[in-house]
Chains A and B, each alone.
Chain A
Amino acid sequence: MIANTLTVLLILTGLGFFAAGTAGLLRFPDVYSRLHALTKADNVGLGLVILGLMFQAGGLADVLKLLLIWALVLAAGTTAAHMVAQRTWTHGDFESDR
């Protein structure tokens, strides 16, 4: 019961962060601030969702798998954001580029 409540609370908070990140992606003016919104807010949001799901995990193996997913998304997301930012830095904004 407590686990379920915690799960719901954590996932709802995580979704709030996701919504904030998405709002930033849609509303912010240029690539850098959009990346800033996405990487910051979504990483925390995913972390909270994963944490919430851990209370539903069947065993240690599931918890470790969830942690691995979190770590992988963090690594991949960071790298992708870095590449996007670097490309923007060397080639200018995407819109004006094409």
Chain B
Amino acid sequence: MNLLLVVFDLALLAGLIGVAWRCLASTDLFRAVVLFITFGLLLALAWVRLEAPDIALAEAAIGAGITGALLLVTLERLRVIIAGRRSDRPDTVPPDPSGPGAALQALHDPPPEPRTRLPALTFALVVGSLLVTTLWHQPDAAGLEPVVDAHMDASGVDHPITAVLLNFRAYDTFLELAIVLVALLGAWSLGRHDRIPARPAPGPILPGTLRLLVPVAVVTGVYVLWAGSHQPGGAFQAGAILGAAGILLVLSRPRRMPPPPGTLLRLGLGAGVGLFLASGVYGLLAGHGFLGYPPGWDYPLIILIEVAATLSIALTLVALFIAGRPEGDDRP
């Protein structure tokens, strides 16, 4: 039985490495992105194999789903921009098709020059073999699992990963939410909201399916959030599911995006970080240390912060997909 598992592991790893290789070697960017999405799904399978269902859930929803949607919409944006500029002013395109002009084709990357092969290969091989040697000679250590297990009673929740995320290492999670927010602010600082270059799909199939799927996605998201306190699930996975539902809604009606009410949107985007910070400062003032919870209040506070974080993550993912500040919103 173990032998079968080893065969499975080897096949999965070979598949992952093969897909990653084909993705990075492809000259057609569309193909590369599709292969990258495949890579993400295979990776989710690897996380299931490693008995980490939380990560598999997040990887499938975020790593494959939302990153894939982001990549595809970016390719379409690039195609529109670059094709538009060329037809606009043909003089900017170098006339020689074999020269560097060929490299400027919108969604193609020419195969890399042969002269960079050897140095790059040597460098990657050296780094890779150093890593492998280090990993194979690493001493066995118990890790932090016993420590987490010993303190589970004090955490307020029953699922160790949620306990680590929202209690033992709440500082990391707080900063992570801040990073997500900063990434959105960075994207917003680059300009106004961009028209989403998707074509409205004719026919009733897509709207009909969405009418069915989006409510189910909302229910699933809330369920995953609630489940996070005692079994795999939690704010990140729930936020990703809700964000994916939002992206589907945005995509299905690219022509008439509902104008988001600015203040409400900003409140939602900042809710996770804000609430986390408020509870952290309260903990500090009440003498439990920064991000410490008052005794007995840990469970309600964790749930409250998780709800806010889910909302913020979902909204931020949709806003990152749209990229750029909302139209008609010229406030700094």
Contacts and interface: CB of A to CB of B under 8 A. Distances in A.
A–B direct touch in complex (beta carbons closer than 8 A)? yes
Interface of A: 68, 72, 75-76, 78-79, 82-83, 86, 98
Contact of A75 (B30, B201, B203, B212): B212
A37 B158 CA distance: 45
Nearest to B219: A68
Nearest to A79: B209
Contacts of A82: 203, 205-206
B202 A86 contact: yes
B28 A75 contact: no
B203 A86 contact: yes
A15 to B, nearest CB: 13
B213 interface: yes
A82 B209 CA distance: 11
Contacts of A98: 28, 30, 107
A83 B201 CA distance: 8
6 contacts: A75-B213, A76-B213, A78-B205, A79-B205, A82-B203, A83-B206
Nearest to A82: B205
Interface string B169-213: 000000000000000000000000000000001110110010011
Size category of the binding interface on chain B? 10 to 19
A79 B30 contact: no
A33 to B, nearest CB: 19
A32 B36 CA distance: 24
Contact of A76 (B30, B202, B209): B209
Contacts of A75: 209, 212-213
Given A86-B201, A86-B202, A98-B30, A72 B216 contact: yes
A75 B30 CA distance: 25
B27 to A, nearest CB: 11
Contacts of B30: 98
Contacts of A76: 209, 213
A50 to B, nearest CB: 16
A82 B203 CA distance: 10
B261 to A, nearest CB: 30
B74 to A, nearest CB: 16
Given A83-B205, A83-B206, 12 more contacts: A72-B213, A76-B209, A78-B209, A79-B205, A79-B206, A79-B209, A82-B205, A82-B206, A83-B201, A86-B201, A86-B202, A86-B203
A10 B188 CA distance: 51
Contacts of A72: 213, 216
Contacts of B202: 86
A72 B209 CA distance: 10
Interface string B8-45: 00000000000000000000101000000000000000
The 4 closest A-B pairs by CB, nearest first: A79-B209, A82-B205, A75-B209, A79-B205
Nearest to B108: A98
Contacts of A83: 201, 205-206
A86 B206 CA distance: 11
Contacts of B201: 83, 86
Contacts of B213: 72, 75-76
A83 B203 CA distance: 10
B317 to A, nearest CB: 19
Contacts of A78: 205, 209
A5 to B, nearest CB: 17
Nearest to B107: A98
B240 to A, nearest CB: 16
